[in-house]
Amino acid sequence: MPTRFAGFVAAICLLIGLPAMLATGAELVPDRRIIHALNRLAFGPTLEDFRHVKTVGIERYIAEQLDPDAIPEPAELRARLASLDTLRLNPVQLRQIYGPLRSLRGFKPSPELERAQRERVQVILRDASEARVLRAVLSPRQLYEVMVDFWFNHFNIFSGKGLDDVWIGNYEERAIRPYALSRFRDLLFATTKHPAMLVYLDNTLSTAPGSRGARGNQKGLNENFARELMELHTLGVDGGYTQEDVITLARILTGWGVNPPDARVYPEYAAVFEGARHDYSAKVFLGRQLQSRGKAEGEEALEILARSPATAHHISFELAQYFVEDEPPSSLIDKLTERFLQTDGDIREVLKALFASPEFWNSYSRKYKTPYQFLISAVRAAGVTVTNVRPLLTAMDQFGMPLYGCLTPDGYRNTEDAWLSPDATARRIGFATALGKGALPITPMAQPVDAIRLEAIFAETISDNTRDAIAGSPQGLRAAMMLGSPDFMRR
Amino acid sequence: MAVRRRDFLTAIGAALFSLAPDAWAAVADGGPARLIVILLRGAVDGLNVVIPYAEETYYTERRSIAIAPPGKPNGALTLDEHFGLHPALADLMPLWTGRQLAFVHAAGSPDPTRSHFDAQIYLENGTPGQSSTRDGWMNRLLLALPGPRGATDAISIGPTLPRILSGKAAVATLSVGPSGALSLPIDRAEIVSAFDRLYAGDDELSSSYREGRAAREQLVAALAKEQRAADNGAPPPTGFPGQAARLAQLIRRQPAIRLVVIGLGGWDTHVNQGAHTGQLAGHLRSLGQGLAALARGSGEAWHDTTVVVVSEFGRTVRENGNGGTDHGHGNVIWVAGGAVNGGRVYADWPGLAPARLYQRRDLAVTTDFRSVLAAILARHLRLNDRQLEAVLPAAPPASPELAQIISS
């Protein structure tokens, strides 16, 4: 009888979403917990997601989000993505079709043709941007899309550098997305070997001086990639490497470059290891003697970096800063680092530990949204089915966070000091007003946003001041005020 | 400027003799010193802006795009016995002869990159070779300037805040179109009163809201008033000359504006650059007209204004196979303003002989761009060494001559 009774209670709890509260013992009211989860695991709540979490409970929602493949994507989104042809081309095809025109039997293409080609290549950025924004707004696999944003900034490249205007969409599709919730090592390998990264950080130029393949502008060592690979991608700036290690890693990676367009060897690959430019001398990297093994030597170095405790700490810090607060507590970072090392860098497991931590649940509304997060969350809360992403991309430009437009390899920051400014607040209010009034052409017949819908999501969680200010304002302004409120600037 | 101050001191006589030297400067200058930086993004071809017409190599390397020497048809405008100005910049000659315009040639970054984006980062963060410096040197400058700070001390013309102005200190951005400031919903009374209630607290978000509102109110009001007075029914000028004219009005009404940044694109002339006419000439004409309009339109405020025009790097000495030029190294920096020791080209000129070129292809850099800026910050904005070090760390000192580019 007692056993049956306990089972009965558990079943009731499951039905009304109590277990999550009991599990962590936090004092937040249930709505706040739901909003908190949706603000961090998703790009903010939609009314549908809010109701879904209310129904299934927070633990179930977290489990669902950690297994995105099991969540079906809406047919409409799939159809929209299917129409973006350049996402399905490989780097060789992309360069063939959209790359700079080449001389034909000694004849240079005319300036007019070159200009036309430069216009043509812009479809790549358009397709990539459309896919990114549509998925962020519409996909129910929200945590997955959040992690794409996180990893893209971690392994940032810039569309304006060299051939990256041709490869940027493929880079996200092939090097980031497949591994966004997988092992860190896989991400590191995929990004390091993608031609877009090798171009972005100049490794294509890096050549062992005096090697057989040294010629033209490929005559010497370029340390750019080696440095950023350790400082930004893996160990972190205080990760215990020296300038000597930077040079050694640069030597290890000599020859990792881009296959010329007319290559006879491996013509189907855009990124190749060119042995003729590689430094085959003996090396000591991070205190370890490496065998001279050409390309395998570089892979060995990546394995060492991926498994270093410094890397585990660095990635854990970044995750905690992104998901919890700008200055995350060291107790949490240590916990995540331990989990990272136990699971060989399994991102899913690290996130699971993060979402189960009291530090996570005690950080309600402590993060200031980046422009990207603000814009995506506003459209989601408004419940608009976006068909035209252009106004959102323009807003990202104006807010100083152009999509795929971060020049520097450190990617966009996600902290308050990076984004909170008088001008940012004015612009966010401007956007919220335009969106609230239905003046933003993101859908063919934009309607004013229904304030009732927003109230259904936020009524229980907004501050008293915001609630009173909205209640005392004309009906037509209420949606704009909610989306432009101080509450909505944070997550 | 030096003459002006002497006259002023004589006229005032002994009445003010007990004031400290800094106070003299403040009284004599009439208003706070102001710096306007115009970024030519894409690398302008400095060798076709300030043309070394006395060098034979210039003409042998640039068969189709060279500007003829002064005196020849469509030739350069004489600056001195070595350099001439692109004829499309004729609007600037009154400033030159009035000694309010100077050039610093063979200037640039110590970093050898020929990547636009790296070079622009270094130009803007003020630390060549170090992309990890996140804030811009003009934001650090804003923090270093003494005195109470107002909402419109620093403004960026254009929709986004460029790196050069980003950082800890608050900066207003302003889109200046043909009809003045582009309005945002927050400029409308009904909306403002609603949001005033939302942002009534003393938290950080609320105070940033109020700062942003104050800046917009001042800027929008200043532009609107001037516009009605100045336009007098005439259609507003478009492009950069129009923008510059609006900026001049803004400065006249709002002398508290200390720092301004404007970015102009279209200088990456790999193909069909043109010579005395064509692509580059068209862009230069617009820039020259704008600078002239800025000088004319800012009235008394021009005396306190220094304008620096700078680009991330120069372009190759030799023209390429497409009638254009490729990414190079050294370039020319333009300095204009009421306090400039102008009418001269400052240069430790390396020449265009192949052996003197950087990597045998580009004009060498003999003056670090930071030295030029540091000289201006020291004399014009009166930064001391400690402040200079915070704004432009490790900037090499300017040559004794260049150090005098602003009169004191």
Residue of chain A nearest B188, judged by CA positions: A430
Using a CB–CB cutoff of 8 Å, tell me whether B146 touches chain A: no
B300 and B356: one domain? yes
B219 and B168: one domain? no
Of B121, B213, B271, the CB nearest to A426: B213
Using a CB–CB cutoff of 8 Å, tell me whether B192 touches chain A: no
Provide the pLDDT for residue B159. Answer: 58
Q: In which band, very low, low, confident or very high, does the pLDDT at B23 lie, cut at 50, 70 and 90?
A: very low
**Token pair 């048809």 in the structure block, residue:** B73
Summarised one tens digit per residue, pLDDT across range B238-282 is 688 988 988 998 898 888 899 999 988 888 887 789 999 999 999
Q: Which of B196, B215, B236 is the last residue of a domain?
A: B236
Q: Which of B236, B251, B272 is the last residue of a domain?
A: B236
Provide the pLDDT for residue A297. Answer: 96
Higher pLDDT, B122 or A12: B122
Provide the pLDDT for residue B167. Answer: 84
Closest approach of chain B CAs to the CA of A486, in angstroms? 7
Residue B99 placed within a domain: yes
Provide the pLDDT for residue B166. Answer: 85
Provide the pLDDT for residue A17. Answer: 40
| Residues A469, B131: C-beta atoms closer than 8 Å | no
Provide the pLDDT for residue A135. Answer: 98
Instruction: List the single best residue of A157, A365, A399, A421 to mutate versus B (max B Cβ within 10 A).
Output: A421
Domain ranges of chain A: 2-65, 201-300, 309-361, 371-489
Higher pLDDT, A39 or B31: A39
B66 and B213: one domain? no
Residue B91 placed within a domain: yes
Provide the pLDDT for residue B26. Answer: 34
Residues on chain B touching A429 (C-beta within 8 angstroms) = 184-186, 191, 195, 209
Name the domain count of chain B. Answer: 2
pTM (2 d.p.) = 0.74
Using a CB–CB cutoff of 8 Å, tell me whether B213 touches chain A: yes
Tell me the pLDDT of chain A averaged across its residues.
91
pLDDT of residue B15 exceeding 50, the answer is no
A30-39, A216-225, B34-43: least confidently modelled range: A216-225
pLDDT of residue A44 exceeding 90, the answer is yes
| Residues A421, B161: C-beta atoms closer than 8 Å | yes
pLDDT, mean of residues B6-35: 41
Residue B14 placed within a domain: no
Summarised one tens digit per residue, pLDDT across range A86-136 is 999 999 999 999 999 988 888 889 989 988 998 999 999 999 999 999 999
Tell me the pLDDT of chain B averaged across its residues.
84
pLDDT of residue B127 exceeding 90, the answer is yes
Residue type at A417? D
β-pairing, B101-108 vs B345-346, is: parallel
Summarised one tens digit per residue, pLDDT across range A158-183 is 998 889 999 999 999 999 999 999 99
Provide the pLDDT for residue B176. Answer: 59
Using a CB–CB cutoff of 8 Å, tell me whether B202 touches chain A: no
Provide the pLDDT for residue B10. Answer: 30
Rounded Cα–Cα distance for residues B262 and A87 (Å): 36
B84 and B213: one domain? no
pLDDT, mean of residues A450-478: 94
Provide the pLDDT for residue A338. Answer: 98
B56 and B105: one domain? yes
Q: Provide the residue range defining the domain that includes B228.
A: 185-236
Q: In which band, very low, low, confident or very high, does the pLDDT at A370 lie, cut at 50, 70 and 90?
A: very high
Residues on chain A touching B165 (C-beta within 8 angstroms) = none
The beta strand positions in B265-314, using DSSP E, are 305-311
Rounded Cα–Cα distance for residues B336 and A124 (Å): 42
pLDDT of residue A48 exceeding 90, the answer is yes
**Token pair 């995540």 in the structure block, residue:** A336
pLDDT, mean of residues A190-219: 91
| Complex confidence, ipTM | 0.83
Closest approach of chain B CAs to the CA of A429, in angstroms? 7
Give the B window 257-286 contacts with A, CB below 8 Å.
271-272
Provide the pLDDT for residue B271. Answer: 74
Rounded Cα–Cα distance for residues B6 and B9 (Å): 5
B271 and B397: one domain? yes
pLDDT, mean of residues B365-375: 98
B287 and B265: one domain? yes
Q: In which band, very low, low, confident or very high, does the pLDDT at A1 lie, cut at 50, 70 and 90?
A: very low
Residue B22 placed within a domain: no
B303 and B381: one domain? yes
Q: What percent of chain B has pLDDT over 90?
A: 57
Residues in Cβ contact with A368 at an 8 Å cutoff, skipping those fewer than 6 apart: A415, A416, A419, A420, A489, A490, A491
Query: Rounded to whole angstroms, what are the CA distances from B215 to A484, B199, B257, B328?
Result: 19, 16, 11, 40
Contact B82, B319 (CB under 8 A): no
Of A158, A399, A433, the CB nearest to B185: A433
Q: In which band, very low, low, confident or very high, does the pLDDT at A460 lie, cut at 50, 70 and 90?
A: very high
Q: Which of B194, B217, B236 is the last residue of a domain?
A: B236
Provide the pLDDT for residue A233. Answer: 97
| Residues A427, B184: C-beta atoms closer than 8 Å | yes
pLDDT of residue A24 exceeding 90, the answer is no
Residue of chain A nearest B151, judged by CA positions: A422
pLDDT of residue B401 exceeding 50, the answer is yes
Using a CB–CB cutoff of 8 Å, tell me whether B130 touches chain A: no
Residue type at B208? S
B232 and B243: one domain? no
pLDDT of residue A8 exceeding 60, the answer is no
A341-350, B65-74, B150-159: least confidently modelled range: B150-159
Residue B106 placed within a domain: yes
Residue B3 placed within a domain: no
Q: In which band, very low, low, confident or very high, does the pLDDT at B5 lie, cut at 50, 70 and 90?
A: very low
B170 and B319: one domain? yes
Provide the pLDDT for residue B350. Answer: 97
Q: In which band, very low, low, confident or very high, does the pLDDT at A25 lie, cut at 50, 70 and 90?
A: very low
pLDDT of residue A151 exceeding 50, the answer is yes
Closest approach of chain B CAs to the CA of A391, in angstroms? 14
Give me the CATH number covering residue B347: 3.40.720
β-pairing, B77-78 vs B50-51, is: unpaired
B172 and B288: one domain? yes
pLDDT of residue B214 exceeding 90, the answer is no
Residue B26 placed within a domain: no
pLDDT of residue B406 exceeding 50, the answer is yes
- 3-state per-residue secondary structure call for B216-228: HHHHHHHHHHHHH
Provide the pLDDT for residue A383. Answer: 94
Q: What percent of chain A has pLDDT over 70?
A: 94
Contact A350, A343 (CB under 8 A): yes
Summarised one tens digit per residue, pLDDT across range B298-319 is 999 999 999 999 999 999 999 8
Q: Which two tokens stand for residue B33?
A: 């010193």
Provide the pLDDT for residue B21. Answer: 32
Question: Residue B374: enclosing H or E segment and its boundaries?
Answer: helix B369-379
Rounded Cα–Cα distance for residues B80 and B70 (Å): 10
DSSP B369: H
Q: What DSSP string describes B201-220?
A: SSSHHHHHHHHHHHHHHHHH
pLDDT of residue A314 exceeding 70, the answer is yes
Provide the pLDDT for residue A452. Answer: 94
A232-236, A247-251, B325-329, B401-405: least confidently modelled range: B325-329
| Residues B194, A473: C-beta atoms closer than 8 Å | yes
Provide the pLDDT for residue B186. Answer: 63
pLDDT, mean of residues A336-362: 98
Residue of chain A nearest B194, judged by CA positions: A473
Residue of chain A nearest B186, judged by CA positions: A430
| Residues B208, A484: C-beta atoms closer than 8 Å | no
B232 and B168: one domain? no
